[in-house]
Structure 1
Amino acid sequence: MTMTAQAQLDAAVLQEGDAATGRLERLFSRLFLGLVYPQIWEDPVVDMAALEISPQDNLVCIASGSCNLLSYLAAGPASVTGVDLSPAHVALGRLKLAAAQALPDHAAFYQFFGRADMEANRALYERYIRDHLDPETRAFWDGRRLLRRRISVFQTGFYRHGLLGRFLGAVHLVARLGQVDFAPLLAARSLAEQQAFFDQKIAPLFDMRLVRLLAGFRASLFGLGIPPAQYDKLAADGGGDVLPVLRERVRKLMCDFPIRENYFAWQAFGRCYDPAPDASLPPYLQAQNFAALRRNAARGRLVNRSLTDLLAAESAGAKQGFVLLDAQDWMNDAQLNALWQEITRTASPGARVIFRTGGAANILPGRVHAKILDRWQYDAEGSARGTEADRSAIYGGFHLYRFQG
């Protein structure tokens, strides 16, 4: 029997813990039924370097906002299958795939998903995209929420919506209370200027009583898609206090990469993409990749189910790349072993697995059975490169495994 979306989320999130944690997990599970990430918060450029995508590769990924799935398609693999437990994320990914094939040119595609705040986007949807959607996805975007059709979010500033968009709005509110204006950061032309902005304007915010109070609540990071189990891992990296970990992640986001080259920083602190002609953008939105994306979009598909369930229906040795995002941080040992058993069964020799962790440490040794994990080689050098290069800066570690067969 097919599980409902809510039942799948409950199975993924609910762990055996105390009553208070259980209540928070149930709340998080229900929030995840809606849109969480209007933009994925993992760097696809880092992913693609680690995956070494070839035309023969069949990839599977957790989709989130689907910036990753569409970016991989632009690299020309044989197929990319995305899964997500949020029906809203699946609807978003299918919308992007249909738009890549149906919109007349890159300018229209960028207007819809890059700007995502123009009244004319409704006409683009009605004229070009709507009739290319499957009935379920069309019903989602034509449906109403708070008296407006869901598709209207692309007229009013899509990246201000969803759980992450509202969380970033709250961050900007706290910044205003601290009299911080992010405009000088977005105009910075050197890493030294960015570091000075952080030291003078942002570091003092972490000493505010309000910020310290809010950071102490495990539900405070739900807007980042961080459930209680992952919050606890972050806090453990800070000696039991999540605040120093958050401070360092914000510092890395602001200071370790030129602001003109980091669209994650623009989304966090400008709440949009840089409007300059040579702006940093996700690979799928870049003009030079649009022809390849349009050509390969039909090789992508999205389904509303867990990755473990999807792989259980795949043939042995059928996959060459697996993208797990940070989902394993949510899992107990039984769930981890069930997932890796299916990954190992469906992996071809040389297949790659990539994932992120909230904390710095690789969480698999000692938890995934040795008889499974010993068939994989951990690429320490590639993992370190990915951790350093990931412009989103929100995770403690990027990890890469290669299948030995």
Structure 2
Amino acid sequence: MQPFMKGIQQWEFESRIFVSLTIVLAVCLLSYLLFDASQANAALAGRLLRLSQTSSLRIGFLIAALLMVLASVLRMWAGSVLSSDRVMAFKVQKDRLLTRGPYRLVRNPIYLADLIAMNAFGLCLPPTGALLSLLMYAHYSRLVQYEEISLEAEFGPEFSSYARQVPRLIPNLRSVKNIPAAFSEFTLSTDGVRHNALYVLFVVGLVVASFTQQFFHAAIIGLPAVYDWAVLHTKKGLAGGIGKRARQGRSSHKSKRVFEDILYAQCWEDPALDRTALNIGPGDVVFSITSGGCNSLAFLLDNPQAVIALDISPYQNYLLELKIAAFRALNHDELLEFVGVRHSDHRWQLYLRLRSVLGDAGKSYWDSQSEKIDQGIIHCGRYEQYMRLLRVWLHRMIGETTIRQFFEVESTGERAELFQRKWENVWWWIFTRVLLSRTTMTLLFDKVFFRYLDTSFSFGSHFARRTRHALTELPMRENYFLSYILLGRYYSEEYLPPYLRKENFDLIKSRIDRIGIVTDSCEHFFTRLPAGSITKFNFSNIFEWMSSEAYEHLLRETVRVGSDHAFLTYRNLLVRRERPAILSECIRPSRVLARALLQQDLSFIYNNYVIERIDKGSTTCDTPSRKSAIAVH
């Protein structure tokens, strides 16, 4: 298969939920634009049988309901055999070849279930509704072709033998004979039912429509299940499925829940703000949340005595450890190739060169992560996968040409006009209020993140405002956050994150041993530190994850372990956190500077930026010292 066509099919497979829903919506809109709702195919068929309009629609809707029952049972059965991790994965799952149950009838029973459902819809729609089954069949045929190339490569003769005996999508006489054997293996699991019930409410809706004579009523009743399925599909897809079989004998690392694998492959916070606010210099001991590790590396440019990179997730720390190893073992060109800035076909070979520099735990983890290595580690986080999905939808809603124009136009006035004319369309309105609604976000991300969120806060509205600010007021090409979101890459190597820039490589490499990595919570780690041992703190946005009481407690401990006049920086996205009044004598805010820096923030998404300074001049800030060494590993 030619690389271009393979790329198209890969995109079509990974975006299949978007493509499928687009086909359904387009056919439905076309049908009702060209025909009256009363001209349903069921009604037209009834005329041929000399039935009344009422009888025709009633019978047609009830037949459609029966087809939906069949589609639902088949889909839930196949989903129970396959599991939701495989059904909803964004990549072809080839850890095993299934040939039992519904897979005795066709090789792709879930697609067959969808085609049955499309025929049910087509019966209820005007004449152009017949296109629904045809277009979906063409779409699914391409998906199957793409999937089966991988399956044939993985299973060889075993798959070829199976393919000769069982048809792809439509049962034939030979496979129909397998019905008794297939049903002897009938099974339904909670997972299979929960993740494949998108047509169930349409059964109820179509029964209702048989009395009201309005397919619209069936759609209204059925759509919530489709929406729920679409969100679940996206959430499961972002989780990465079962994962590839490790090549060359390397076993794959199981997909983890949202915070049990790498969440952020990059730091999504502008280090320029923190470097300005913290004013790091010789003698400083900098405490920083690891996240993607980028900013901890960037702080080395300011010549601190030490950087303590802490994260509660060992996987984030494995990522930073790997980036540090890349600095130690590779030159700058190889670094850019290895992390994913430049194209490469031999990242695994580069990994083998730097592997010996890793600790045992990091080595064990990365040895099992060939897929992450191969794609480039700056792309391997859950958040980056979400950005990829966001980018696909933005390209469809706004258009790639329009998006590129923003990077070509330098005048803020012209960009503001372009934003109003081309960006703020109806799809953008729907996107910010549906995909970015609190309901959707809590399904995609850990609900703990939203525990302390004010119920009146609208993330969609906030994102819309901040996006307008970024696209119309901030520099575009220099904004490596925005270019990665919109283009899937940095605009050019001239505008890379500071830690990846050529002019900074040698300096960071010479100071790389100053970074110490800690896997722990701040609360626990700080109890091990002596008083006054940290001079600069970068807390990312961790305070949004804790209650106001826990936040106050951690600030008190920060005052203890911080030196007099130590600076703190942190961010608020969803939850407002600033020094409580009870600590006003110990911690002094720098709000004017913080507001000014927030306006320059290239990461643009945050709602608030906080700069505070510890002042131990007041007796209320006295805390007992603890005699223990700074322990980093």
TM-score over 0.5 (shorter chain): yes
- Decide which moves more: 322-331 or 353-362: 353-362
Match of 2:391 among 152, 166, 172: 172
Match of 2:357 among 113, 128, 132: 132
Instruction: Return the letter of the residue paired with 1:402.
Output: R
Is 2:523 the partner of 1:298? no
In terms of fraction of residues, the more strand-rich structure is: 1
Task: Verify the 8 A CA contact 2:292 2:316 in the aligned structure 1.
Answer: yes
Instruction: Return the letter of the residue paired with 1:180.
Output: G
Q: CA deviation at 1:282?
A: 1.3
Match of 1:61 in 2: 288
Is 2:360 the partner of 1:123? no
Describe the shift of the 1:152–1:242 C-alpha distance in structure 2 as closer, same or farther (beyond 3 A): closer
Match of 2:380 among 115, 140, 161: 161
Task: Verify the 8 A CA contact 1:116 1:155 in the aligned structure 2.
Answer: no
Task: Verify the 8 A CA contact 2:565 2:614 in the aligned structure 1.
Answer: yes
Task: Verify the 8 A CA contact 2:539 2:570 in the aligned structure 1.
Answer: yes
Match of 1:76 in 2: 303
Match of 1:264 in 2: 481
Question: What SS class does the counterpart of residue 260 from structure 1 fall into?
Answer: coil
Describe the shift of the 1:206–1:317 C-alpha distance in structure 2 as closer, same or farther (beyond 3 A): farther
Question: What SS class does the counterpart of residue 463 from structure 2 fall into?
Answer: helix
Residues of 2 paired with 1:298 and 1:123: CA distance? 24
Which structure 2 residues correspond to residues 2-21 of structure 1 after superposition, within 5 A?
none
Aligned residues: 362
Question: What SS class does the counterpart of residue 383 from structure 1 fall into?
Answer: helix
Residues of 1 paired with 2:396 and 2:519: CA distance? 40
Residues of 2 paired with 1:302 and 1:230: CA distance? 29
Q: Over residues 103-149 of structure 1, what are the superposed CA-to-partner deviations in whole Å (9 max), with x where a residue is unaligned?
A: 1x22222222251642222222112x100000100111101xxxxxx
Which structure 2 residues correspond to residues 358-373 of structure 1 after superposition, within 5 A?
358-359=573-574, 361-366=576-581, 370=582, 372-373=583-584
Match of 1:324 in 2: 539
Residues of 2 paired with 1:291 and 1:95: CA distance? 17
Describe the shift of the 1:268–1:222 C-alpha distance in structure 2 as closer, same or farther (beyond 3 A): farther
Match of 2:460 among 229, 243, 267: 243
Instruction: Return the letter of the residue paired with 2:277.
Output: A
Instruction: Return the letter of the residue paired with 1:109.
Output: L
Describe the shift of the 1:179–1:400 C-alpha distance in structure 2 as closer, same or farther (beyond 3 A): closer
Q: Over residues 163-212 of structure 1, what are the superposed CA-to-partner deviations in whole Å (9 max), with x where a residue is unaligned?
A: 21221122123224425212222333332343233223322256544552
Residues of 2 paired with 1:267 and 1:231: CA distance? 29
Q: CA deviation at 1:401?
A: 0.5
Q: CA deviation at 1:157?
A: 4.4
Match of 1:387 among 598, 603, 625: 598
Match of 1:48 in 2: 275
Q: CA deviation at 1:93?
A: 0.6
- Decide which moves more: 354-363 or 241-250: 354-363
In terms of fraction of residues, the more helix-rich structure is: 2
Match of 1:185 in 2: 406
Match of 2:325 among 65, 90, 98: 98
Describe the shift of the 1:57–1:247 C-alpha distance in structure 2 as closer, same or farther (beyond 3 A): same
Residues of 1 paired with 2:259 and 2:586: CA distance? 34
Q: CA deviation at 1:160?
A: 3.9
Task: Verify the 8 A CA contact 1:116 1:159 in the aligned structure 2.
Answer: no
Instruction: Return the letter of the residue paired with 1:203.
Output: E
Match of 2:334 in 1: 108
Residues of 2 paired with 1:264 and 1:221: CA distance? 23
Instruction: Return the letter of the residue paired with 1:386.
Output: L
Provide the aligned C-alpha RMSD in A.
2.6
Task: Verify the 8 A CA contact 1:38 1:162 in the aligned structure 2.
Answer: yes
Q: CA deviation at 1:161?
A: 3.0
Which stretches in structure 2 are left out of the alignment for 5+ residues? 1-231, 240-255, 617-633
Describe the shift of the 1:40–1:323 C-alpha distance in structure 2 as closer, same or farther (beyond 3 A): same
Task: Verify the 8 A CA contact 1:114 1:273 in the aligned structure 2.
Answer: no
Instruction: Return the letter of the residue paired with 1:155.
Output: D
Task: Verify the 8 A CA contact 1:360 1:397 in the aligned structure 2.
Answer: no
Describe the shift of the 1:78–1:289 C-alpha distance in structure 2 as closer, same or farther (beyond 3 A): same
Q: CA deviation at 1:96?
A: 1.1
Describe the shift of the 1:202–1:36 C-alpha distance in structure 2 as closer, same or farther (beyond 3 A): farther
Match of 2:491 among 249, 271, 274: 274
Match of 1:17 in 2: none
Task: Verify the 8 A CA contact 2:433 2:461 in the aligned structure 1.
Answer: no
Residues of 2 paired with 1:334 and 1:293: CA distance? 38
Is 2:425 the partner of 1:204? yes
Question: What SS class does the counterpart of residue 259 from structure 1 fall into?
Answer: coil
Describe the shift of the 1:170–1:184 C-alpha distance in structure 2 as closer, same or farther (beyond 3 A): same
Task: Verify the 8 A CA contact 2:595 2:609 in the aligned structure 1.
Answer: yes
Residues of 2 paired with 1:222 and 1:364: CA distance? 31
Which stretches in structure 1 are left out of the alignment for 5+ residues? 1-23, 144-149
Q: Over residues 54-78 of structure 1, what are the superposed CA-to-partner deviations in whole Å (9 max), with x where a residue is unaligned?
A: 1100011111101110000122101
Residues of 1 paired with 2:587 and 2:419: CA distance? 40
Residues of 2 paired with 1:224 and 1:248: CA distance? 22
Instruction: Return the letter of the residue paired with 1:381.
Output: V
Residues of 1 paired with 2:526 and 2:375: CA distance? 38
Larger radius of gyration: 2
Residues of 2 paired with 1:287 and 1:226: CA distance? 40
Task: Verify the 8 A CA contact 2:340 2:376 in the aligned structure 1.
Answer: no
Q: CA deviation at 1:36?
A: 1.3
Q: CA deviation at 1:379?
A: 0.8
Q: Over residues 280-308 of structure 1, what are the superposed CA-to-partner deviations in whole Å (9 max), with x where a residue is unaligned?
A: 12111111111110111111022221112
Residues of 2 paired with 1:298 and 1:222: CA distance? 40
Residues of 2 paired with 1:163 and 1:157: CA distance? 14
Describe the shift of the 1:222–1:112 C-alpha distance in structure 2 as closer, same or farther (beyond 3 A): farther
Q: Over residues 223-243 of structure 1, what are the superposed CA-to-partner deviations in whole Å (9 max), with x where a residue is unaligned?
A: 68885437834x64xxx4332
Match of 1:333 in 2: 548
Residues of 1 paired with 2:346 and 2:432: CA distance? 39
Match of 1:20 in 2: none
Task: Verify the 8 A CA contact 2:340 2:375 in the aligned structure 1.
Answer: no
Question: What SS class does the counterpart of residue 517 from structure 2 fall into?
Answer: strand
Describe the shift of the 1:292–1:207 C-alpha distance in structure 2 as closer, same or farther (beyond 3 A): closer
Question: What SS class does the counterpart of residue 296 from structure 2 fall into?
Answer: helix
Residues of 2 paired with 1:225 and 1:271: CA distance? 24
